Structure 1
Amino acid sequence: MNSKVFTTLEYGKIKQQIEQFLVTDAGREQLVSLTPSSDYQQVKEWLDETADGADVVRLKGEIPIPNLTEIAPFLKRLNIENSALSGTELAHIKKLLVSMKVVVSFFDTLAAEDVKLRSIDELVSQLDLMPEITDDLVRSVDDDGRILDGASSELRSVRRAIQKTQTDIRSRMNRFIKGADAKYLSEPIITVRDDRFVIPIKAEFKQRFGGIVHDQSASGQTLYVEPSSVVENNNELRRLQLSEREEERRILIALTATLRPYSDSLKNNMSLMGHLDFINAKAKYADSVKATLPLISTDNYVNLRKARQPLIDIDKVVPNDIEIGEKYRSIIVTGPNTGGKTITIKTVGLLQLMGQSGLFITANEESHIGIFDDVFADIGDDQSIEANLSTFSSHLDNIISILNQLTDKSLVLLDELGAGTDPKEGAALAMAVIDAIAAKSSELIATTHYPELKAFAYDRENTINASMEFDVETLKPTYRLMIGVPGQSNALNIAEKLGLDESIIEKARAYTDDSNQDINNMIAELTEQTRKARVDAEELEIQLQDATELQTELKAQFDKYQGSKQKLFEKAQFEANQVVSDAKKRADEIIADLHKKQAQVGKATVKENELIEAKGALNALEVEPNLKKNKVLKREKRKHDFHKGDEVLVKSYGQHGTLVDKQKDGSWEVQMGILKMKIDPNDLEKEKSVPEEKQKYRAHVSRTRSSGISPTLDLRGERYEEAMSRLDSYIDSALLAGYPTVTIIHGKGTGALRNGVNDYLKSNPRVGSYGYSAPNAGGDGSTIVKFK
């Protein structure tokens, strides 16, 4: 694909925005080399990877990859016999191997949770964990490259000897610092000169101590002396330190030799981790700009639904529907300048480049992109002073180059086609260029302000007019693209709105050709109809969305009701049968007692058939009880027949409250003392009515610790709106539970969730203070909240 289009459409700015999400050198190298592909299979593979990354970001926040330094320069030295990597270089390799283990474990967890991925798990399976080498490096080198005691028993032994010798030296020298000789010292400290322990002595008392002078102060008044009593100890320390360095050198050589056979594997691991980092960055970028996965059309059918320019703030940009390649292959966008024509065609080209690079696009779901072999663009004032070319000449030079490279699989974007010369000749040239591009079956979107091209586009096969909507009332463009409607000249209408004398306006209209007036009137009417249709469609879409959400909510509530009803039915049936069972048991006891008495008296005071009939009647009570008259079921129904103002018990908190209002999701807003909380109806139980004179005592809510509420809330992996809703409910619950302090875990990530938590806590009057956790307890990944 031609490189000039990357500059014209500002493709490099998209790559700059992605770069902020990368954490590895290898990932940055892959971003630098990223360009769009015209191979369908390659584009699909890239998009599948990005889609996997987006699923991971949505579910878990991100793939856990730390900052990784490129190890390729270190690996080159592995091929040199008897060479040794430094501790720092080994630490970087260790960090790579450890992070790979974390990543593999992370994806194993996703697999255990039955998260379905398209292709990224295949990449993870190619990582060579090298567990034995990883263990050796973890045991031998710390994160800063220092050789650890566990690297060898010899190193551990010599370091213990060094520590003991240093302790002995300090013990001897402390006698000078704390004893009677301390007054002869410049400072009561032990310091080091030339790797030997010394003390600072006033120059005039150097004979008193003896020993070796290693240094003196700038003024010459202080001498740094090694007392003779510790000279031999310092000599021993020096010998041990040399032994330590030699052992460290041996360990580095041994570790390097261990890595040497795995040079290619390590290089491949670094590349794979870089690629995972790149996928992660693409997914996080897509999440940040609310981009979606595009569908790929092998017929180069482009259908962008609510497409947004990714380089404009999402809150300011105007989305547009843009379609080309099926019903028509050329779009001629006419109308005055400053209406958004240039931004619109740049949006089409940039989203196409992004999609063919395996990036999500800033458009609604189900949008289609094509697979073009090249995208050509001639946009903006390309005047070249150095080449002595005017604007017209420069544009014409670009168009000639484009025409020479076109194929039937190319997308061409031309801005202000034919501008910069005589209007009639410019319009004629524009028509000829459009015909030449159409002859090669390329797809074309061209903008122009020449009115002649409106009729030209109407008469041409596979070509359609388009324009940018303009609000004559406010005299401002709306930046909305209208397909099928040519651009309207608003000069006279704008002049009239601005207050130009009406006689001048009428005279101007008289000078205007009648056919042009008719065309403008027709376009004005068509524009208004199109605008009204768009507004109606947007309103209907909102109504449909609301209706869909309501239907989903009602279905969820109905399912919940059905489940609750069945549980209540089963409970009531069980309790009813229990009552009957107890009654039958009691009846059996009575009958047995009657038999006993009958045997004792010897007379049949009670007839046997009467006893059998009575027992049969009791047994019949247990078979299919009449639940409509069952008092247990009726009592359960009454407990859950809620109305506004009812006194209820909130079971999970063990607190009394009053029903305030029923919410759309079926929950109830409950007033418990000074707190109002949303409670699920299954967590409520209706209480018996309370006499009016006693009701005033029911407003008190005693704050007790509830075993149902955790002192920690974990918001990681949740969407921003859901997290803020959960946080609000949780703070109410924690206050009610009586917790003085709680912890909110929000993770680090991009910081959006952390900032949202801080903003909420800042505005909550019940929060006394808050701050990040200690570094060893999560740092700025969690916040400690203290209540007033």
Structure 2
Amino acid sequence: MDSRVLKTLEFDKIRDEVAGHCTSVLGRSRISGLVPSTDLGEVAALLAETDEALAIYRIRGNVPMGGLFDIRPYSKRAQAGGMLGAMELMETASTIRAGRILRQFLEAIEAEGEIDIPLFLAKKEEMPVLTALEHEINACIDDNGKVVDSASGALRSIRQQLRAQEGRVRDKLEQYTRNNAKMLSDAIVTIRNDRYVIPVKQEYRTHFGGIVHDQSASGQTLFIEPDAVVQANNEIRRLKMKENEEIERILRMLSEQVQGHAHELFVLIGILGDMDVVLAKAKYGMAEKATIPGVNDEGSIRMVKARHPLIPREEAVTNTIEFGGDTTAIVITGPNTGGKTVTLKTVGLCTLMAQSGLPIPALEGSEMAVFDGIYADIGDEQSIEQSLSTFSSHMVNIVGILERFDERSLVLFDELGSGTDPQEGAALAIAILDEVHGRGARVMATTHYPELKAYGYNRPGVVNASVEFDVETLSPTYRLLIGVPGRSNAFEISKRLGLPDHIIRHAKTFTGEDRNEVETMITSLEASRVQAEKDAEETARVLHESEELRSQLEERLSEYDSKKDQLEEKAKEKAKKIVEDARREAETVISELRSMRLNAGAQVKEHELIEAKKRLEGAVPQEDLRKKPKTKAKPAKHELQPGDEVKVISYGQKGTLLEKGSDGEWLVQIGILKMRLHESDLEYVKPEKPKETVTVANVRGRSAEGVRMELDLRGERYEDAIRRTEKYIDDALLANYPRVSIIHGKGTGALREGIQKYLRRHSRVKSFRFGEAGEGGSGVTVVELK
């Protein structure tokens, strides 16, 4: 991609903004070298990675990326056999720990199955496991980059001897200071040239003997090592040399272990750097309310409600820009400062962002094309060094573009043909547009020339556009109107500003008939557009009402079907019971008749047979032919509103509606509980009678629900971490928490010191301490609240 185009479209400013969201120097250095890709598959993969990162942030809120350092120079030096310093080894262990924590974080997401992140999980699988090396380094070096006593038995023994010897020397010298206070400038023991000395006044220098190591600036104080401690200081010096030798041995041993894992460390830091870049892209997208567009290699662009990414959201005017397919060129006309150049830069910059895997500032459903080349001639390109005028400089750029572009290119021309004679400039502009458009490239151009207003009407694949101008306010609206060329507003503006009518009428006589016809056509098009927008608004309103009515009808039909099914089920149960009773009665009668017939000595009387026949006839269920009373018409269903009293069908309890969610569920207050329930599980309860209500102000502390007992700040920037800590302490106080934990990690210690400095100043913080071994150690601060 042409570096000049990246600068012209201000892509470097976008890179700087994204780099600000990185958590490591490695990520920032990679962002600074970020360039758009021209391969469709690679662009799709980059955007898919960013989309996964956005999904992680939406669900989890944060990703642990703290403690990451660029350890490539250390690994390279260890690979060459060099010895690493204690701080370098500590940063190596910290980076390994950062990879381990991130791997565990991704494994937890994978186990829950809440988010589909195959690309991140694939990177997780490629991350080498170097936990053993991390533990080896942490066993020898603390978080401040110091070799600990427990690094080896020899080092522990040497340091014990050293501390004992230093204690004896200090005791001896402190005895000197107590007994000879008059001869000393100050009754203290100090160190010069790594040897313990006392400050002696000049006039008493011979009283102590020994070695003079230094003197004050005035020469009145000498720092003397008395003879009595010379041998003891020599012993301290010898022990320190042994200590340094042992430390060097430990560092060489650890460096050799780093050397054995150097290749794996290069792989690890490469993957962590990639993840830092992708997560920074996602954080930029969330900050800018940007979305992931679809991509294609067909030259089709559709940007829904897009804005320029470098203009603040509250100031930018959004536009829907669509071309490609049958439309391959857009010619934009309109007044100066109307937004033509911004529109050009928006298309070009968003294309560069999409091809770099960045979200674009447009709504969902947007789609960008992947181009092999993006070329732009935008702005005042006058070159004093090359003695070129504005027109000449533009022509040099355009000639370069014409030599390089092809059918897979996006070409942007700002004020094409300007800076020279209007008639010749317009002719050149038309010829250049014909050349670029004829060779199949996608092209957008802005111009002032009236000759180009009709350009889109007699060439297939070309569409006119303009930036809207409000004649009433004499100011542009920055809205892009596709399909309508910009018309001249000189006469209308002059009239609004008070120019006499007879002068305006006289001026109109000098305009050609063709120009008047074009202006009339444009005026007609604008009127048609305004009417079309009104019709579209009315259609949208009617459609919305129809949708609501359809929804209500479907709901009532569903209720009817449900009630009908219930009634049919009850009827079937009742009929089944009647038939079953009739069958049992018939069986009883038949059994009795058989008994009578088999009774040899008995005579069956006529009245007994008649009675049995009646019982059989009575067992047959008869249809109730009586006219059923008409059921009362069911009242229209009450539309639930916040504050309504309802019955929760599944629980049989009454509650009060608080608010309705976007998914159709209601937040219901049931006693002291708040629950989210679907509307189908709620039944409106009509109040018995209106009662006089009294408004009572209820002041409560914040519910503990939603306030966790710990705050994780790992991976946060310093300013953001302090801001989050301040808000979290307030939330914890409102929730009446006696104690909370703040997780800041170990790292360089800067974040930890900043958090603790803030806690010292907080009036409601009783005390704080580092976490115990089971609480996270020095990576956690436990805070006691008043």
Q: Per the shorter chain, which TM-score range?
A: 0.7 to 0.9
**Against the structure 1 CA distance between its residues 542 and 265, is the aligned structure 2 distance closer, same or farther, given a 3 Å change threshold?**
farther
Residue 139 (structure 2) aligns with: 139
| Cα distance, 1:94 vs structure 2 | 1.8
Residue 621 (structure 1) aligns with: none
**Against the structure 1 CA distance between its residues 742 and 187, is the aligned structure 2 distance closer, same or farther, given a 3 Å change threshold?**
closer
Q: How does 1:745-756 map to 2 (within 5 A)?
A: none
Residue 384 (structure 1) aligns with: 383
Residue 75 (structure 1) aligns with: 75
Task: Give the aligned CA root-mean-square deviation in angstroms.
Answer: 4.7
Q: Does 2:157 correspond to 1:157?
A: yes
- Structure 2 Cα separation of the partners of residues 191 and 552 of structure 1: 88
Identity %: 38
**Against the structure 1 CA distance between its residues 151 and 532, is the aligned structure 2 distance closer, same or farther, given a 3 Å change threshold?**
farther
Q: How does 1:741-780 map to 2 (within 5 A)?
A: 776=770
| Cα distance, 1:678 vs structure 2 | 8.8
- Structure 1 Cα separation of the partners of residues 366 and 322 of structure 2: 10
- 2:668, 2:674 within 8 Å by CA — same for their partners in 1? yes
Q: Does 2:488 correspond to 1:489?
A: yes
Residue 450 (structure 1) aligns with: 449
- 1:70, 1:270 within 8 Å by CA — same for their partners in 2? yes
| 2:76 partner letter | K
Residue 98 (structure 2) aligns with: 99
Q: How does 1:201-350 map to 2 (within 5 A)?
A: 201-350=200-349
- Structure 2 Cα separation of the partners of residues 328 and 354 of structure 1: 23
Q: State the SS of the aligned residue for 2:374.
A: strand
- Structure 2 Cα separation of the partners of residues 743 and 538 of structure 1: 54
- 1:294, 1:368 within 8 Å by CA — same for their partners in 2? yes
Q: Does 2:520 correspond to 1:521?
A: yes
- Structure 1 Cα separation of the partners of residues 411 and 394 of structure 2: 14
| Cα distance, 1:741 vs structure 2 | 7.1
- Structure 2 Cα separation of the partners of residues 292 and 526 of structure 1: 34
| 2:254 partner letter | L
- Structure 1 Cα separation of the partners of residues 230 and 781 of structure 2: 54
- 1:332, 1:446 within 8 Å by CA — same for their partners in 2? yes
Residues 69-110 of structure 1: per-residue CA shift (max 9 Å, x gap): 4323333332444x3122222222222112111111111122
- Structure 2 Cα separation of the partners of residues 546 and 198 of structure 1: 94
| Cα distance, 1:745 vs structure 2 | 8.1
Residue 148 (structure 1) aligns with: 148
| 2:9 partner letter | L
Residue 459 (structure 2) aligns with: 460
Q: State the SS of the aligned residue for 1:375.
A: strand
| Cα distance, 1:360 vs structure 2 | 1.0
| Cα distance, 1:276 vs structure 2 | 1.1
Residues 295-336 of structure 1: per-residue CA shift (max 9 Å, x gap): 011212111111110010111011111111123111111223
Residues 737-768 of structure 1: per-residue CA shift (max 9 Å, x gap): 8x4979798999xxxxxxxxxxxxxxxxxxx9
| Cα distance, 1:381 vs structure 2 | 1.5
- 2:375, 2:411 within 8 Å by CA — same for their partners in 1? yes
Residue 498 (structure 2) aligns with: 499
- 1:734, 1:742 within 8 Å by CA — same for their partners in 2? no
Q: State the SS of the aligned residue for 1:478.
A: strand
- 1:468, 1:487 within 8 Å by CA — same for their partners in 2? yes
- 2:707, 2:731 within 8 Å by CA — same for their partners in 1? no
Residue 592 (structure 1) aligns with: none
- 1:771, 1:783 within 8 Å by CA — same for their partners in 2? no
- 2:306, 2:319 within 8 Å by CA — same for their partners in 1? yes
| Cα distance, 1:7 vs structure 2 | 1.6
- Structure 1 Cα separation of the partners of residues 269 and 545 of structure 2: 49
**Against the structure 1 CA distance between its residues 642 and 326, is the aligned structure 2 distance closer, same or farther, given a 3 Å change threshold?**
closer
| Cα distance, 1:203 vs structure 2 | 3.3
| 2:10 partner letter | E
| 2:430 partner letter | M
Would you say how many aligned residue pairs link Structure 1 and Structure 2? 654
**Against the structure 1 CA distance between its residues 532 and 111, is the aligned structure 2 distance closer, same or farther, given a 3 Å change threshold?**
farther
Q: Does 2:342 correspond to 1:352?
A: no
Q: Does 2:20 correspond to 1:20?
A: yes
Deviates more, 1:432-441 or 1:19-28: 19-28
Residue 404 (structure 2) aligns with: 405
Q: State the SS of the aligned residue for 1:511.
A: coil
- 1:339, 1:468 within 8 Å by CA — same for their partners in 2? yes
**Against the structure 1 CA distance between its residues 544 and 452, is the aligned structure 2 distance closer, same or farther, given a 3 Å change threshold?**
same
| 1:75 partner letter | S
- Structure 2 Cα separation of the partners of residues 519 and 430 of structure 1: 19
- 1:333, 1:447 within 8 Å by CA — same for their partners in 2? yes
Residue 719 (structure 2) aligns with: none
Q: Does 2:95 correspond to 1:110?
A: no
- Structure 2 Cα separation of the partners of residues 783 and 141 of structure 1: 24
- 1:49, 1:119 within 8 Å by CA — same for their partners in 2? yes
Deviates more, 1:59-68 or 1:412-421: 59-68
**Against the structure 1 CA distance between its residues 710 and 375, is the aligned structure 2 distance closer, same or farther, given a 3 Å change threshold?**
closer
**Against the structure 1 CA distance between its residues 701 and 32, is the aligned structure 2 distance closer, same or farther, given a 3 Å change threshold?**
closer
- Structure 2 Cα separation of the partners of residues 276 and 41 of structure 1: 19
| 2:500 partner letter | D
Residues 32-68 of structure 1: per-residue CA shift (max 9 Å, x gap): 2211111111111111111122222223334322354
| Cα distance, 1:403 vs structure 2 | 1.4
Structure 2: gaps of 5 or more residues: 559-639, 648-653, 715-722, 746-761
- 2:353, 2:359 within 8 Å by CA — same for their partners in 1? yes
**Against the structure 1 CA distance between its residues 702 and 341, is the aligned structure 2 distance closer, same or farther, given a 3 Å change threshold?**
closer
Q: State the SS of the aligned residue for 2:509.
A: helix
Q: Does 2:10 correspond to 1:10?
A: yes
Q: Does 2:226 correspond to 1:198?
A: no
Q: State the SS of the aligned residue for 1:322.
A: strand
- 2:707, 2:732 within 8 Å by CA — same for their partners in 1? no
Structure 1: gaps of 5 or more residues: 560-640, 649-657, 718-723, 749-767
- Structure 1 Cα separation of the partners of residues 127 and 231 of structure 2: 54
| 1:160 partner letter | Q
**Against the structure 1 CA distance between its residues 199 and 733, is the aligned structure 2 distance closer, same or farther, given a 3 Å change threshold?**
closer
- 2:53, 2:279 within 8 Å by CA — same for their partners in 1? yes
| Cα distance, 1:235 vs structure 2 | 2.3
| 1:483 partner letter | I
Q: Does 2:82 correspond to 1:59?
A: no
Residues 357-386 of structure 1: per-residue CA shift (max 9 Å, x gap): 111111111111111110111111211222
Q: How does 1:597-608 map to 2 (within 5 A)?
A: none
| 1:317 partner letter | A
- 1:72, 1:267 within 8 Å by CA — same for their partners in 2? yes
| Cα distance, 1:340 vs structure 2 | 0.8
- Structure 1 Cα separation of the partners of residues 341 and 210 of structure 2: 85
**Against the structure 1 CA distance between its residues 492 and 281, is the aligned structure 2 distance closer, same or farther, given a 3 Å change threshold?**
same
Residue 755 (structure 2) aligns with: none
- 1:307, 1:321 within 8 Å by CA — same for their partners in 2? yes
Residues 626-656 of structure 1: per-residue CA shift (max 9 Å, x gap): xxxxxxxxxxxxxxx999799x9xxxxxxxx
Residue 757 (structure 1) aligns with: none
Residues 552-588 of structure 1: per-residue CA shift (max 9 Å, x gap): 99999xx9xxxxxxxxxxxxxxxxxxxxxxxxxxxxx
- Structure 2 Cα separation of the partners of residues 781 and 539 of structure 1: 60
- 2:67, 2:94 within 8 Å by CA — same for their partners in 1? no
- Structure 1 Cα separation of the partners of residues 541 and 186 of structure 2: 81
- Structure 2 Cα separation of the partners of residues 731 and 142 of structure 1: 33
| Cα distance, 1:704 vs structure 2 | 11
Residues 146-176 of structure 1: per-residue CA shift (max 9 Å, x gap): 2122221111111111112222222333323
Q: State the SS of the aligned residue for 1:250.
A: helix
Q: State the SS of the aligned residue for 1:362.
A: coil
- 1:85, 1:256 within 8 Å by CA — same for their partners in 2? yes
Residues 100-155 of structure 1: per-residue CA shift (max 9 Å, x gap): 11111111122122121041221222121222211111111233332122221111
Residue 510 (structure 1) aligns with: 509
Q: How does 1:37-52 map to 2 (within 5 A)?
A: 37-52=37-52
| Cα distance, 1:224 vs structure 2 | 2.2
